[in-house]
Structure 1
Amino acid sequence: MKKIILTIAVLGGSMALFAQQQIIIRTENTAQVYKVTEDKKLLQVYVGEALQHDDEYQKMPAFPIDAYVQGGLNVIREPAFQITHADGNPSLMLQVADVKSEKTDDNVTITHVQLKDAVYPVEITMHFKAFRKENVIEQWSSIRHTEKTPVVLHRYSSGALQLKEDKYWLTHFFGDWANEMRMEETQLPEGIHSIESKLGTRATNFDLPSFLLSLNKQADEDNGTVLAGSLAWSGNFQLMFENVRYSEDFNHLLQIQAGINPYASDYQLKPNEIFTTPSFIYTYTTHGKGQASRNMHQWALNYGIYKGREHRQTLLNNWEATYFDFNEQKLVNLFDDAKKLGVELFLLDDGWFGNKYPRNSDNAGLGDWDANKQKLPQGIGYLVQEAAKKGVKFGIWMEPEMINPKSELYEKHKDWVLELPNRPEHLRRTQLVLDLANPAVQDYVYKVVDDLLSQNKDIAYIKWDCNRYMTNTYSAYLKDKQSQLYVDYVKGLYTVLKRLRTKYTDLEMMLCSGGGGRAEYGGLQYFQEFWPSDNTDPLSRIYMQWGYSYFFPAATICAHITSWGKQSIKFKTDVAMMGKLGFDIQVSHLKPEELTYCQSAIGNFKRLQDVIGFGDLYRLISPYENNCSSLMYVNDDKKKAVLFAFNLQTMHGDVFPRVILKGLDAGKKYKVEEINLEKEGRASFKKSGTVYSGDYLMKVGLDWFLRGEQTSAVLEITEEVRP
């Protein structure tokens, strides 16, 4: 659809008409309002529920400081933008120069607010993309100048918000390898609180660039005012919350700034070059954390994820069956296991490449992406063909951003490696990072993947890994511009991914990073899904997947059944079925009844993938507050739902809550039937097959029905249509 571009009517075409006018960015239920003052400053007026009458926003007082605090002039708070001009002047004095809006379709409107320095030829344009139905706003900035020589950008926020409430509770998630997504909620004290990463690659390894903020009182799933936000950037990030409890100038104020971490990232911007920041995505709701999540999920599925609403392929990974020890025949035999299991795809993991330095462990071969001739004498093409003969698609693991010192690439191009001169080489996981700030390295990485895919056109899946963060970091290519490395690396990565996506539009790709090191929407614009953690113990995964569900829809969260944990195959599979189902087990070691169970569960998942992956999520019973857990997914027309229930580490005498369902149509009748049954088909839910009204299920609910430690059930809820 052709974009319709217009100057916002209330602002008119001349600067004289700008004064005291307002800019309204609106979704179906929320509004974000700005005011242009007499001296052309941009002030924020409002963030909250949309009013019925736009003229009433004019009755609201504007916040008494710039909507985007500028460094160097009269700054007393953390600046959103800070630059040094070509003549050394370290200040900005931005004024509104122009405002335009473009309606790209019935759901999306983009507002551009152009700010120009009063003296210097520097302009910063704020962009606001409002998604009406999803009640989400995406905000970013672009910076340009026409000074004679480069200016230096010190801070360059994607977006800023100001709030004037009494109290705030911040929920965020932290962790490390195999222990991701530990949830913490704290009341914000006075001062500055920052959630950030300085890791360079796999930047979400310690902290997630996403948050929930409850206003005035702690919100729960269904009640309370919540602002949820996430930064779409695969590198160093910063989410800053500056909570001023008292000021003689403005009493109290919370400023939220989201963007690239300014740490060691001064950026030299050339004349007429445009620097575009990543997107800050956020939603506001008065209906609790659950509605905030559903808003984010629907935005992500429609706009934030590559082909977000397309079906994902169930798969069998060979890692736990073989590790590095395999050959052609062993892999071909595993294709039979994938077919027997009933999955659509076989994924060949690490260890298939390297000849001079064979990849028989993780200490060699990265960078040399030729099939190992001893393990695979007929190459990858043979495996792809054999998989097709078995009726199974073929996928493959790669880690193209990384290099081992024991590799031919390292011997030929040590200058492509990120490492400080005159310092000891610092390895993590026996590997180093390639310099994707260098266009030659970008071309190499692209060619590695392109050669593999073009020579083996039926490869249907790539697991793209990234197993270390940056240390000892220096780019030989950037020379005297080392402070641009963290930014230019990510820009280089995106350049490669854009080229690949332009050519390989149907390829399914998993964004992996030694676990949850890349759980963010910057990468997901090129990938359909991500790997949340190398910890696949299903008990741990209940908590992790619960945490990820605040920001990411189930279709993006890869969940595999593995040897981790001592629980039953049913418990493991039911947990994994809450996300994007996959297997990493030795199928030959399954008992006949376990294999039958997995086959049935895979069939159920394929049948219900639209509901689980793309439906509205309702978290019912939190594992953080109970010795059990439950959540459900409901499709758009409320005709179908799937409910998951789990007993955790229970004790004799535990008291269990009722399961009060959500999201159904009170006027419909629903049949509630347990699926994923074991053995003789005995249901834990003894009333399986009973028909209830939606009204009953959402008011009275179901008695807790699981018995025993670490047990599980899946209920399929279907509208009962009777003549």
Structure 2
Amino acid sequence: MTILVDKKKKLFTLQTKNTTYQMKVGKFDHLYHIYYGKRIDHQDLSYLMYNGPSHYVPYPHEAKNRVGSLTLLSQEYPTVGTGDLGSVALDLENYDGTRVVDLKYKNIEVINGKYSLEKLPTFYANNGEAQTLKITLVDDLTGIEVELFYGVFGNNDVITRAARMSNLGKKPIKIHKMQSMSLDLIFGQYDLVHFHGRWGAERNYERLPLSHNVTSFGSNYGVSSSKENPGFLLVGKNTNETDGYCYGFNLVYSGNFRATAEQGALGQSRVTLGLGDDQFSWKLEPGELFESPEAVMSFSGYGMTNLSHNFHDVIRNNLCRSKYEKARRPVLVNNWEATEFDFTGKKLLQIAKAAKGIGADLFVMDDGWFGNRYDDNRALGDWFVNEKKLGCSLNELVKKINAMGLDFGMWFEPEMISEDSELYRHHPDWALNFPQRKALLDRNQLVLDLSREEVRDYLFERISAVLDSANVSYIKWDMNRPITDWYSKNLTKGRQGELQHRYILGLYELFGRVTRKYPDVLIEGCSAGGARFDLGMLSYEPQIWTSDNTDPINRLGIQYGTSFFYPVSAMGSHISDSPNQQNGRVTPFSTRAAVAMCGTFGYELDITKFSDEQKEQAKKYTKLYKKVQDMTCNGDYYRLASPFDRSNDLVAWQVVSKDKSESFLTVVVTNVVANASFVYVQLRGLEASDNYEVNGEIYSGAALMNAGLKLGRFKGDYPSQQIYIKEV
């Protein structure tokens, strides 16, 4: 049984294969969190709860013995106005202006299968692999009811959470903050691991001690952003990749979010995660309901690698419904870095012919194919094929490329609009902009108001018209600016705080329509590179362009940080030119290929200019990637040496097939020194008692994992080595 309910004790326990999560209703009907950690069978753990006096903290009026302050007790869903002085999960304003909601236990329900949300993407279950626990809490005075949902994936050690609020009272209320989850840990010393960044340097690993100050981080970019990622960890002081306890949290959402982490006065710890609350508010009329995005969490008692595997598996198996989630991804060639806007149909055909010559499967036509789009200052929104530029219709171009044996893909940026566009001239009111003010610009473009149905209808119509006109099998869906001008002409005064969330709901509605109509089209997400790399996007598209920075040495850190929550199969990664377009670094072709193979492999340069030697190299690496692709995208990923470890001169990672019959090791040396020692790497994830062939030699799995593998002494600029390992 995954969910255990003791109605007499009002004790609720969620059991997964290796973890236990326990809650209990207290004396005054508040819902308390008791324990989350390694699995413990058949035990009431409420003896762990604080039962001392409440010194200089408020406690419930009923607590005549001065015991029971919600500031000191570990809660499941803390709320405003109840005496909890930490970061609360729910903050709302009642009709009379009071900021208080006191939720008490009402009932509980165990449901076979996985819950879903009405307008937001969620994880889903296959063949009864999950159960749902629904706990209903209510404030009898105001008629506010909150349902807490817990989706339990027992074999994955994963629990999802969401909250649904209903206004059953007679007056409207205003929500100021509604988090998807809160977790209180009664004791323990922890570090916070989060992933910060900027354009071209996304998801940098940073580990900080959890302190008594509130650490608050998130995004106010209108997207999940490159500044912070919604995924973060709480880890024990001595936890590393292979040992120690750690908690992971993430959010199925693509807009503004907020996370907090803090240590309480008596050593307890709390984390919260949910919607961003900088400008957010939502008016909830009587009879209406509001749903929070889904959060997902996991616990590992065996280090951070095991935690990553929990997330990787559930993302690959239970999030995206695209057929490409399980299918082999095409090796693609994108023309952007080769031509930018300066291309013709003839030039694209030359690149496509060269792509076929190196074994690619897919040719992608990037920005510049529509309207009057000859630079990035115009035409966004005018999604009409520029046949004059192509020299033919889209259908004719695609047929020629298909005849070469290649599939065809193309770039869109549907959410954006240029002031210099036919669409803006006809519908300036469709752009987000504050009244009587000049709009803020980024890349000389504005953002369409996706909260408006007519805007979504127009975009769906134009995307459909293009896709229906030719055999298009791939879309790169881009989004190249943050959202700042939060004002919709479609919302009344006092409801502009709803726009941030309504935009994302509109985006998901549009994505849903496109993916349902075109289930055979592979969609790759992009937002100025990796600024919207999140579980919400991965619900609709199985892969995301990891960063606009294609320099392989910079990518080591970007892809390392991304790997903590997201599988290799989600990371778009390509070979680009050298010197690199972003930073000018010169790197060997072999290293660019090695790093690009840690993702959905492709090429982002003018391959028509390849020398004969480069053509042969490209054929070699395309063939090698196809050999290891299934293992890379569906196997277990191991971080062996970190790019953020200053004591290392190398970065190493390894993928292992699920049946442990094969493995693939990659090592990149970032600082070559004179008179260097040999490089030694201890492998992981193999079967200790089995034998494996490495470069013609036979080793036991135990030897490779414990004694390690001796490589060589590297020379040159940024050398690398890849080793295929096969069970014998």
Say yes or no: TM over 0.5.
yes
Change (3 A) 1:160 1:536: same
8 Å contact kept, 2:312–2:567: yes
- Contact 2:677/2:713, CA 8 A, preserved across alignment: no
Sequence identity (%): 31
Equivalent residue letter for 2:569: A
Q: Name the residue aligned to 2:309.
A: 294
Instruction: Tell whether the 8 Å contact from 2:5 to 2:12 is kept in structure 1 after alignment.
Output: no
| Distance in 1, Cα, partners of 2:651 & 2:439 | 47
Alignment pair present for 1:188 and 2:210: yes
Q: 1:463 aligns with which of 469, 476, 485?
A: 476
Residue in structure 1 matched with residue 366 of structure 2 by the alignment: 349
- Please, what TM-score do these two structures have when normalized by structure 2? 0.91
Query: Does the 8 Å contact 2:412/2:476 carry over to 1?
Result: yes
For the 8 Å contact 1:706–1:713, the answer to whether it is kept is: no
Does structure 2 conserve the Cα–Cα contact (< 8 Å) formed by 1:260 and 1:277?
yes
Which residue does the alignment assign to 1:712? 720
Partners in 2 of 1:655 and 1:365 — Cα distance?
A: 57
Q: Which residue of 1 aligns with 2:149?
A: 127
Residues 13-92 of structure 1: matches in 2 within 5 Å?
Answer: 17=8, 20-51=9-40, 53-61=41-49, 64-92=73-101
Aligned pairs for 1:55-454 within 5 A: 55-61=43-49, 64-104=73-113, 105-201=127-223, 203-215=224-236, 217-244=237-264, 246=265, 251-307=266-322, 308-354=325-371, 358-454=372-468
SS in 1 for 2:449: coil
Is the Cα contact below 8 Å between 2:555 and 2:595 reproduced in 1? yes
Asked if 1:658 is matched to 2:673, the reply is no
Shift of 1:233: 1.0
- For the residues of structure 2 that align with 1:242 and 1:571, how far apart are their CA atoms? 41
Q: Are the counterparts in 1 of residues 569 and 599 from structure 2 also a CA contact under 8 Å? A: yes
CA distance in 2, matches of 1:226, 1:532: 25
Q: What corresponds to 1:689 in structure 2?
A: 696
Name which of 568, 571, 591 aligns with 1:554: 568
Compute the displacement of 1:88 (Å). Answer: 3.5
Deviation per CA, 1:432-472: give whole Å up to 9, x if none: 0000111111212222222222222x211000000000123
Shift of 1:523: 1.0
What amino acid is the match of 1:54? H
Spell out, residue by residue over 1:196-221, the C-alpha distance to the aligned partner (whole angstroms, 9 max, x if none). Answer: 111113x3221111112112x13111
Q: 2 CA distance for matches of 1:547 and 1:653?
A: 31
Tell me the secondary structure at the aligned position of residue 55 of structure 1: coil
SS in structure 2 at match of 1:191 = coil
- Contact residue 109 and residue 129 of structure 1 kept, 8 A: yes
CA-CA distance at 1:144 after TM superposition? 1.1
Q: 5+ residue gaps in structure 1?
A: 12-16, 673-687
1:403-430 deviation digits (Å, cap 9, x = unpaired): 1100000001100000111112211110
Structure 2 counterpart of 1:699: 706
Report if the CA contact (8 A) 1:628-1:656 is conserved.
no
Residue 76 of structure 1 and its aligned partner are, at CA, apart by 1.8
Give the match for residue 539 of structure 2.
525
Deviation for aligned residue 1:21: 1.9
What is aligned with 2:689? 667
Residue pair 1:7, 1:100 contacting (<8 A) in 2 also: no
Distance 1:710 1:544, change over 3 A: same
Kept after mapping to 2: 8 A contact 1:240/1:256: yes
Code of the residue aligned with 1:236 in structure 2: it is N
Match of 1:10 in 2: 6
Match of 1:685 in 2: none
Q: Hey, what does 2:629 align to over in structure 1?
A: 609
Native 8 Å contact 2:87 2:260 kept in 1: no
Distance 1:340 1:221, change over 3 A: same
Return closer, same or farther for 1:540/1:170 CA change in 2, 3 Å cut-off: same
> Which runs of no fewer than 5 residues in structure 2 stay unpaired?
51-71, 114-126
Report how far residue 122 of structure 1 moved: 1.6
Deviation of residue 172 (structure 1)? 1.2
**Counterpart amino acid of residue 668 in structure 1:** D
1:212-266 alpha-carbon deviations (Å, 9 max, x no partner):
2112x1311101111111112111001111222x2xxxx2221111000111111
Question: CA 1:585/1:434 → structure 2, altered by over 3 Å: closer, same or farther?
Answer: same
Where 1:75 maps in the other structure, the secondary structure is coil
Moved more, 101-110 or 435-444: 101-110
Q: Given that residues 27 and 135 in structure 1 are in contact (C-alpha distance below 8 angstroms), is that contact kept between their aligned partners in structure 2?
A: yes
After superposition, what is the alpha-carbon deviation per residue over 1:632-688, rounded to whole angstroms, capped at 9, x for unaligned? Answer: 11111111111111111222134455211110001111112xxxxxxxxxxxxxxx2
In the superposition, the TM-score normalised over structure 1's length comes to: 0.92
Contact residue 182 and residue 273 of structure 2 kept, 8 A:
yes
Would the alpha carbon gap of residues 620 and 461 (structure 1) be closer, same or farther in structure 2, given more than 3 Å must change?
same
| Post-superposition CA distance 1:282-341 (Å, at most 9, x none) | 111111111111111111111123443222111000112211011111112222112111
> What CA deviation, in whole Å up to 9, does each residue of 1:267-296 have, x standing for no partner?
012333321111111111111111111111
Alignment of 1:577-592 (within 5 A): 577-592=597-612
* 1:679 alignment counterpart: none
Instruction: For residues 363-393 of structure 1, give each alpha carbon's deviation from its aligned partner in whole angstroms, at most 9, with x where no partner exists.
Output: 0010000011320242221221111111100
- 8 Å CA contact 2:34–2:74 kept in 1: the answer is no
**How far 1:35 sits from its partner (Å)?**
0.1
Q: 1:158-191 deviations in whole A, cap 9, x for unaligned?
A: 0010113342111111111112222211112212
Question: CA–CA distance in 2 between the matches of 1:618 and 1:651?
Answer: 26
Matched letter for residue 55 of structure 1? Q
User: Aligned residue for 1:678?
Assistant: none
Give 1:60 shift: 3.9
Checking the alignment, whether the CA contact within 8 Å between 1:169 and 1:218 is kept in structure 2 is: no
> 1:56 & 1:79 partners in 2: Cα distance?
26
**Partners of 2:24 and 2:675 in 1: CA distance:** 60
Q: Write the distance in 2 (CA, Å) between the matches of 1:183 and 1:7.
A: 35
**C-alpha separation in 2, matches of 1:131 and 1:477:** 40
SS at match of 1:411: helix
| Aligned positions, number | 682
Secondary structure, aligned partner of 1:593: helix
* 2:394 and 2:469 in contact (8 A); partners too: no
Q: What's 1:622 paired with?
A: 642
**Do the aligned partners of residues 550 and 414 (structure 1) sit closer, same or farther apart at CA in structure 2, a change above 3 Å counting?**
same
Question: How far apart are 1:8 and its partner, in Å?
Answer: 6.3
Q: Which amino acid aligns with 2:232?
A: F
Q: Give SS of 1:596's match.
A: helix
For the Cα contact (< 8 Å) 1:214–1:227, is it kept in 2?
Answer: yes
Contact 1:436/1:442, CA 8 A, preserved across alignment = yes
1:515 Cα deviation from its structure 2 partner: 1.2
Conserved 8 A contact 1:660-1:697: yes
Q: CA deviation at 1:47?
A: 0.8
CA distance in 1, matches of 2:221, 2:675: 46
